[in-house]
Amino acid sequence: MWKPGTVFTTMRCLTHPLLRRLLGLSPQRMPGVLSQSPVLSPKCSPLRQSCSTRPRLVTATDVVNYWQKVFEANGIPEARESSEYIVSFVLGAKTFQSLNSKSLCTPLTAVQQEKIQQLSNKRLERMPVQYVLGEWDFQDLTLKMRPPVFIPRPETEDLVSLVVEEESRKCGKNLGLYFPVPVPHAVILEIGCGSGAIALSLLCKLPQSRIIAVDKEKSAVDLTRENAHRLRLQERIHILHHDVSYSSAKQLLLWGPIDFIVSNPPYVFREDMASLDTEVVRYEDLDALDGGDDGMRVIKTILALAPSLLKDSGSVFLEVDPRHPNMVENWLQAHPNLQLGIRAIHKDFCGKARFLHIQKQSR
């Protein structure tokens, strides 16, 4: 089994026999290959073995294959994907599939190879690819990623879509009136903004909306602020460093009553925390995931606060565990004073009930 400090994590691995075998290099030629700038000869493809008098130059495909094998040998999950993401990132592309044949066949420079080496060594330490690259895409946005701030998961994109659909439905209804009234711009509150993925996507998709994004972690608030500035969305977002509790209403009502509360709260059941992947345990803030014994610790706080924050008929959109829809329904029935009801339960792309649309009942 691989351990830190063995050949695979250091520059020494470039002279390791495995690498030589994988790249089909002779022992004599090997030392110069990864430190030498590629020289392209019009008559001689760098991949052609017949050009044996020259060092065999290393292409993106060679390096992807090499690191895939190293990752596999060291038990790194998603070995191929990890290798492809790292190599394409260094080549300035989002995916390996988007590289054209010229990029795939052009020998990599020494600088590119060294960068790939550095990033791959991080992956060998089980760092998630998103942190290795320092950025990741969510919907149409590229966001900065930094440990330990929670990495947005793909299913959360559906949560954003549900809010957008509800806002579009409300605006459409309003526009259908005989005497159209001005559509008020939605005020949205995101509880637990992390990197800002949900809040910033909503700002992009709903160009008239304003968002209050709250997180209890300073690292998350800082990253949301950085991402908002990079995307030039800082004018319509108020980012608040605040640990939301039952008594938070006053701090969160800075723009008056709210149309939508949206949250992907910590909802992992305490007993499930032990089975999280090594990548998550080593690098992500576990408080961002731990929802307490029933996974409902923050969910209950949000629901208890919602009636005093929402406009009449305002909505809460939550991402939850598939066990939660029933639990939330029972909890709301046991708290009729909150006057909240589940309006819809939506499934994720795996068919699991993962999103709750809860509505404040009009008086």
Ligand X SMILES: C[S@@+](CC[C@H](N)C(=O)[O-])C[C@H]1O[C@@H](n2cnc3c(N)ncnc32)[C@H](O)[C@@H]1O
Q: Which residues of the shown chain bind ligand X in the complex (CB under 6 A)?
A: 150, 152, 156, 191-195, 197-198, 214-217, 220, 243-244, 264-266, 287-289, 298
Query: Cβ closer to ligand X: 66 or 136?
Result: 136
323, 288 Cβ separation under 8 angstroms: no
Structure tokens at 173: 């209804």
Residue closer to ligand X, measured from CB, 58 or 280: 280
The least CB distance from residue 208 to ligand X, in Å, is 22
Q: How far is the CB of 297 from ligand X (least distance, A)?
A: 8
Phi, psi angles (nearest 5°) of residue 127 = -70, 135
Least distance to ligand X from the beta carbon of 182, Å? 31
Instruction: Output the six-digit token pair for 84.
Output: 């492809």
Report the residue number, 46 or 266, with the smaller CB distance to ligand X: 266
Least Cβ distance, residue 232 to ligand X (angstroms) = 20
3-state secondary structure of 345: strand
Q: What angle do CA 217, 218, 219 make, to 5 degrees?
A: 90
On whether the CB atoms of residues 300 and 226 are closer than 8 A, the answer is no
**How would you classify the pairing of strands 210-215 and 237-241?**
parallel
Of residues 19 and 240, the one with the C-beta less far from ligand X: 240
Smallest distance from the beta carbon of 72 to ligand X, in angstroms? 29
Residue nearest to ligand X (CB): 192
Closer CB to ligand X, residue 147 or residue 341? Answer: 147
User: Which residue pairs, CB below 8 angstroms and at least 24 apart, start in 101-104?
Assistant: 103/60, 104/59, 104/60, 104/61
Q: Which is nearer to ligand X, 217 or 279 (CB)?
A: 217
Contacts of 134 (CB under 8 A, 6+ apart): 144, 145, 146
Q: Token pair 């691995």 is at which residue?
A: 13
Distance CA 44, CA 57 (A): 11
Output the smallest distance, CB 309 to ligand X, in A: 14
Q: Which residues pair with 127 in a beta bridge?
A: none
Minimum Å gap between C-beta 244 and ligand X is 4
Nearest distance from C-beta of residue 218 to ligand X, angstroms:
10
As to burial, measured by CB atoms within 10 angstroms (0-12 exposed, 13-18 middle, 19+ buried), residue 215 is: buried
120 versus 263: smaller Cβ distance to ligand X: 263
Q: To 10 degrees, what angle do helices 79-90 and 60-73 make?
A: 140
Task: Indicate the residue among 34 and 299 with the shorter CB distance to ligand X.
Answer: 299
Residue 54 CB neighbour total at 10 angstroms: 12
| N-to-C CA span, the chain | 64
User: What span, in angstroms and rounded, lies between the C-alpha atoms of 306 and 28?
Assistant: 70
Q: Which is nearer to ligand X, 243 or 293 (CB)?
A: 243
> What is the nearest approach in angstroms of ligand X to the Cβ of residue 122?
21
Is there a contact between 46 and 56 (Cβ–Cβ < 8 Å)? yes
